[in-house]
Amino acid sequence: MSYVAPLKDILFVMKDLAGLDEISCLPGCEDATLETAEAILEENARFTSEVIAPLNRSGDQEPSYWKDGEVFTSKGFKEAFKMFGEAGWQGVQHPTEFGGQGLPKLLATPCIEMLHAANLSFALCPLLSDGAIEALLTAGSDADKAMYLENLISGKWTGTMNLTEPQAGSDLAMVRTRAVPQDDGTYKVFGTKIFITYGEHDMAENIVHLVLARTPNAPEGVKGISLFIVPKFLVNADGSLGARNDAHCVSIEHKLGIKASPTCVLQFGDHGGAIGTLVGEENRGLEYMFIMMNAARFGVGMQGIAVAERAYQKAVQYAKDRMQSRDLAGSAGPVAIINHPDVRRMLMSMRAQIEGARALAYVAAAMSDKAHHHADADVRKQNQAAYEYLVPIVKGWSTEMSLNVTSTGVQVHGGMGFIEETGAAQYYRDAQILTIYEGTTAIQANDLIGRKTARDGGAVAKGFIAQVRAVQAELAVSSNADLRAMAAPMAQGADALEEVVNFVVANVKTDIKAVFAGSVLYLKLAGVVLGGWQMGRAALIAEAALQSGGGDTSFNQSKVATARFFAEHILSSASGLRTAIVSGSAGVMALTAEQF
């Protein structure tokens, strides 16, 4: 089966949970009405399902390949990318002054989800371009913006991030790529970068590499890193393409998943030096690169939700088609396996986790829009802090969720899931990278503890917990038994998260290893509790619609049922996570390195 965008749930989350009406009232966001959103998302759903999704399986079977320094993408990718750019999809959230549509992040987020659900390997190219665009908008000079942004936003050119080196993975203090200043104000760049997504390909006229490197007198460590624009083809003053730059792909990786996406080893300066220009100021490169990384981290979280949705759809279809065993309650012959309780449990687990993660991510996107566009400076500041707290959770929890969901998708297929021909395994293989690139789950968790919890004494985290408790109080007094059943797990979840936040704040300076031993579990706990908070909100809204007789009855009933499942089967894990975090560090650190 192909991909069918879950537009009903997407629009419900945008309108009722993320507050699209409020976003459309912000300065600069007036065009983002519900009517506009529906039109854009319906067209995006059509485009991704008809143009992009059919290339997903063929790209996995016939990946991109490298030959004599050039990379050739999978059949159909080049043509589809041209259509993607011409339709304006690269520019949805980017400024109109450079040819974008200038729409808020809340409206761009479902477009990101649908594109990645349709074809994760294909969608990585636009994702990296988005990051490059964000970095240049923030730190680039007027000349940089004039030279590069319009072509990046149109999809005529694409962008990359160049951080990692053979000896410098997550520790960017180890970056050794050199940038030597020249008399004309440019730099010559020398070094090797690895794991560069779409670092070379045949889908665009030019590739704009953003490269971390050190100038000759730079201080050691991360304080001495600068950011440079090193295009594949040099750009003339009139905007036309000039000579081929000394930046070449010397190989691509052979991977477990995302096989159609070329992951390149780039060599800069083998033939005299790659010509680059400095972005912003020297030694502020890491600061600028974090702009790209934060944009990409949110996008990778959406990848997790997207590939999980695709795996869920495939599992549901198989469960409805596959006839196996008699019904436990009695039947004349074999029934579709969706009638068996444990298959239902697996499908509900997949569905609930996806809906919880989607809701939290879209709410985060709305916070980002308020942080950028709200007229009140205090509201902007408050929403920026809340969004920054949620980014590592959206990235970390959603991608870890995708591993669970895609694995469950294989399990629903049984033995046939282990066979590549069914297609279920591709989603599982593709999802494996999501917890690794753009910062592993542990790196997201370290960020959540250090920058997002300890630094402000847990203030933002406790603000979220207060909102969880407010929803829990509404659930507890509901006349609906399903909603009342959610109240106790949510109360326990709020208590668990608060206890962990207090533990982190109290111990991070005196027993740092004990705190960080539970960092990933804290991230998962925050995702589970805040995802549960959104599911509780969704259930209250759906139940109110059912009571009033408005809306889609089947959809609202399903939302209530899925929210209850989330509370009883997923949110109920919060107490165990709390115990492991607060009391479990001794077990983590008990053995010496030699004892392993």
Mean pLDDT of all residues in 430-442 = 96
Mean pLDDT of all residues in 562-575 = 98
* pLDDT for the residue numbered 377: 98
Cα Rg, the chain, nearest whole Å: 24
* pLDDT for the residue numbered 130: 95
Other beta carbons less than 10 A from residue 220's beta carbon:
8
Question: Does the pTM of the predicted model rise above 0.85?
Answer: yes
**pLDDT category, 518, cuts 50, 70, 90?**
very high
Amino acid 471 reads: V
Task: Read off the DSSP letter of residue 438.
Answer: T
Provide the phi-psi class of 185: left if phi over 0, else alpha when psi is between -120 and 50, else beta: left
Q: What is the pLDDT of residues 405-416, one digit of tens each?
A: 999 999 999 999
* pLDDT for the residue numbered 293: 83
Measured CA distances, 363 to 103, 418, 556 (Å)? 16, 36, 19
For the four alpha carbons of 418, 421, 422 and 423, in that order, the dihedral sign comes to: positive
Between CA 456 and CA 465 the distance in angstroms is 15
Helices 481-507 and 519-548 pack at an angle, to 10 degrees, of 150
For 29-79, give the DSSP string: -TT--HHHHHHHHHHHHHHIIIIITTHHHHHHHS--EEETTEEEPPTTHHH
For 129-191, give the DSSP string: HHHHHHHHHHH--HHHHHHHHHHHHHTSEEEEEE--BTTBSS-GGG---EEEE-TTS-EEEEE
* pLDDT for the residue numbered 63: 98
* pLDDT for the residue numbered 436: 96
- Bridge pairing between strands 187-197 and 263-268: antiparallel
- How many CA atoms within 13 Å lie on the side-chain side of 594? 0
Helix, strand and coil content of the chain, in percent to the nearest 5, comes to 60, 10, 25
CA 467 to chain centre: 24
Judge whether 514 and 590 are in contact, CB under 8 Å: no
Query: Which of 539, 536, 388 lies closest to 470 in space, CA to CA?
Result: 536
Measured CA distances, 269 to 193, 215, 244, 310, 511 (Å)? 12, 15, 12, 42, 46
* pLDDT for the residue numbered 168: 85
In this model, does residue 1 exceed pLDDT 70? no
Tell the CATH topology of 158-283: Butyryl-CoA Dehydrogenase, subunit A; domain 2 (2.40.110)
In this model, does residue 48 exceed pLDDT 90? yes
* pLDDT for the residue numbered 290: 83
Query: Which of 460, 449, 499, 500 lies closest to 364 in space, CA to CA?
Result: 460
Q: What is the pLDDT of residues 250-263, one digit of tens each?
A: 999 999 999 999 99
Task: Read off the DSSP letter of residue 594.
Answer: G
Whole-number percent of the chain with pLDDT over 70: 100
In this model, does residue 39 exceed pLDDT 90? yes
Mean pLDDT of all residues in 257-270 = 98
Amino acid 60 reads: D
Q: What is the pLDDT of residues 578-587, one digit of tens each?
A: 999 999 999 9
**pLDDT category, 169, cuts 50, 70, 90?**
confident
* pLDDT for the residue numbered 170: 81
- Bridge pairing between strands 226-231 and 206-213: antiparallel
CA 220 to chain centre: 32
In this model, does residue 14 exceed pLDDT 90? yes
**pLDDT category, 109, cuts 50, 70, 90?**
very high
Q: What is the pLDDT of residues 325-344, one digit of tens each?
A: 999 999 999 999 999 999 99
Mean pLDDT of all residues in 1-23 = 96
Between CA 353 and CA 497 the distance in angstroms is 18
Tokens encoding 33: 């009405």
Residue 200 annotated in active site: no
In this model, does residue 449 exceed pLDDT 80? yes
In this model, does residue 91 exceed pLDDT 90? yes
Between CA 577 and CA 574 the distance in angstroms is 5
Other beta carbons less than 10 A from residue 237's beta carbon:
8
Contacts of 550 (CB under 8 A, 6+ apart): none
* pLDDT for the residue numbered 306: 98
Active-site choice (165, 388, 438, 543): 438
CATH number for 7-154: choose from 1.10.150.20, 1.20.1250.20, 3.20.20.70, 1.10.540.10.
1.10.540.10
Tokens encoding 279: 């972005």
Q: Mean pLDDT in the chain?
A: 97
Mean pLDDT of all residues in 349-368 = 98
Tokens encoding 96: 């109109």
Measured CA distances, 524 to 99, 401, 493, 571 (Å)? 39, 9, 12, 11
For 215-264, give the DSSP string: -TTPPSGGGG-EEEEEESEEE-TTS-EEEEPSEEEEEE---SS-TTS-EE
Provide the phi-psi class of 62: left if phi over 0, else alpha when psi is between -120 and 50, else beta: beta
